[in-house]
């Protein structure tokens, strides 16, 4: 189940929490973050090939490309037995920004996006059916957990795909991590 937790000034100062999709949408919209829930296809699961995932969601992919002009689309599909899971997890755990929006549609499984906006940190547990778009230049980090089992379609305006600019801050170390 999707969830949002909002902290102010420090990790132990929780000011808002909800697992209601409408409340999640409303809170994120206030800071310019897009959050939507889409229908998922039961034929897709963690570990599936990119081709299978893209074929299952081609109509949704085409619609988003048409609406927002994305140039590159790919799929990240990880399972707990992936040989590079620890390396990949570490890559996303440090606070970073992108020069473009970071758009993810979770087809299966879950991941924890943490957005550092002003004096607040917005932890958003995304699950199957969630689409999140983190605005360009927003400091954030992502945790897929120690035993990932998720599939996400990623949309990019940059033809090079995922390009991070790390902030050097240790803020991410003070907030929640997925444990499963």
Torsion angle, alpha carbons of 138, 91, 165, 130, to 10:
-30
Contact 1, 95 (CB under 8 A): no
- Encoded tokens for 179: 């444990």
Q: Tens of pLDDT along 95-139? A: 999 988 889 999 999 999 999 999 999 999 999 999 999 999 999
Contact 80, 45 (CB under 8 A): no
Q: Tens of pLDDT along 128-164? A: 999 999 999 999 999 999 999 999 999 988 766 667 8
User: Helix, strand, or coil here: 52?
Assistant: helix
Binned at pLDDT 50, 70 and 90, residue 12 comes out as confident
pLDDT score at 160: 65
- Encoded tokens for 84: 């590079």
Q: Domains, the chain, ranges and CATH?
A: 3-160 (2.60.120.10)
Contact 150, 110 (CB under 8 A): yes
pLDDT score at 127: 96
Residue 154 CA: distances (Å) to CA of 13, 15, 70:
32, 30, 10
pLDDT score at 71: 86
Q: Tens of pLDDT along 24-39? A: 999 999 999 999 999 8
pLDDT for residue 176 is more than 80: yes
- Comparing CA positions, the residue from 49, 52, 57 lying closest to residue 106 is 57
Q: Tens of pLDDT along 48-91? A: 889 999 999 999 999 999 999 888 899 988 899 999 999 989 98
């Amino acid at each position: 189940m999707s969830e949002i937790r909002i902290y102010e000034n420090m990790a132990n100062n929780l000011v808002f929490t909800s697992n209601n999709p409408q409340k999640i949408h409303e809170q994120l919209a206030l800071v310019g973050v897009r959050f939507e829930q889409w229908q998922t296809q039961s034929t897709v699961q963690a570990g599936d090939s990119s081709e299978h995932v893209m074929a299952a969601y081609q109509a949704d992919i085409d619609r988003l490309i048409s609406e927002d002009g994305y140039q590159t689309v790919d799929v990240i599909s990880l399972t707990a037995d992936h040989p590079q899971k620890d390396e990949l997890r570490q890559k996303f755990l440090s606070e970073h920004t992108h020069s473009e929006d970071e758009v993810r549609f979770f087809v299966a499984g879950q991941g924890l996006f943490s957005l550092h906006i002003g004096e607040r940190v917005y932890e958003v547990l995304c699950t199957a059916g969630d689409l999140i778009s983190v605005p360009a230049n927003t400091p954030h980090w992502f945790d897929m957990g120690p035993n990932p089992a998720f599939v996400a379609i990623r949309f990019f305006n940059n033809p090079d795909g995922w390009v991070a600019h790390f902030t050097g801050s240790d803020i991410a170390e003070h907030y929640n991590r997925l444990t499963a």
